[in-house]
Structure 1
Amino acid sequence: MIFTIEPMINASPDWRISIDRKDGWTVRTLDGFNSAQFEHTILVTPTGSEILTKL
């Protein structure tokens, strides 16, 4: 199985977001504060796991 972990960190005290209706993908905070997002892709097998996107 392969899955991703995608945390999003916001500089805003308000955690609410909106998704861009044009592309259905872009996420923004409602108050326009800066945000950062990153992702790890993880492979899980019967014998263990491996992070495929190591920093």
Structure 2
Amino acid sequence: ELRVAVRPSGTEPKIKSYIEVRRTCVGGDLDQARAEARQLSEELAELAGKF
């Protein structure tokens, strides 16, 4: 699951964005789920940096 929130800053002339990534823990492998979520988050942050 992926959620992106974008809003104007209340005090500065800029836009703030928040990315939330959720992964289901399959087979009880929490470390794998965290690694997948971290990887997706990093890819999204890199993509967002291009704009």
Higher strand share: 1
**Bigger proportion of residues as helix:** 2
**Greater Rg over alpha carbons, structure:** 1
Give TM-score scaled by structure 2 length.
0.28
Bigger relative contact order, structure 1 or 2 (CA pairs below 8 A, ≥6 apart): 1
